[in-house]
Amino acid sequence: MLNVRAGLAVGTGAALGACTRLALTMLLGAGLWPILAINILGAFLMGWRRPGAFWGTGFLGGFTTFSAMMLVDENLLPYLLGTSLACISAWFIGDRLAS
């Protein structure tokens, strides 16, 4: 039963995170820069708050778009590298603030 509860928590969090990302994308406009901002924010929050399954794997996993970003056209390789470096840096900054 514990695995079912954990799965439901992660799934519910992911759905809410994806809806939040959609709302922000509608507010900020579609494109690469809003996605970059959302990913950096999600990475920062993951490092700073060190959330559990619902907020971390679920909500922030659904909120960010790392898996989708890896499918972007190879012509955007500098953007992908920048996204990766910015998000890893944001996580480290958040982690440092949490310490």
Tens digits of per-residue pLDDT, 71-82? 666 677 787 888
DSSP secondary structure letter of residue 60: I
Q: Indicate the residue type of 76.
A: L
- What pLDDT does 12 receive? 96
Phi and psi at 36, nearest 5°, equal -60, -45
pTM, two decimals, is 0.81
Give per-residue pLDDT as tens, 23-69: 999 999 878 888 889 999 999 999 999 999 999 999 999 999 866 66
- Residue 55 and residue 25: Cα distance in Å, rounded? 20
- DSSP states along 66-90: HHHHTTS-GGGHHHHHHHHHHHHHH
pLDDT band at 96 (very low <50, low <70, confident <90, very high): very high
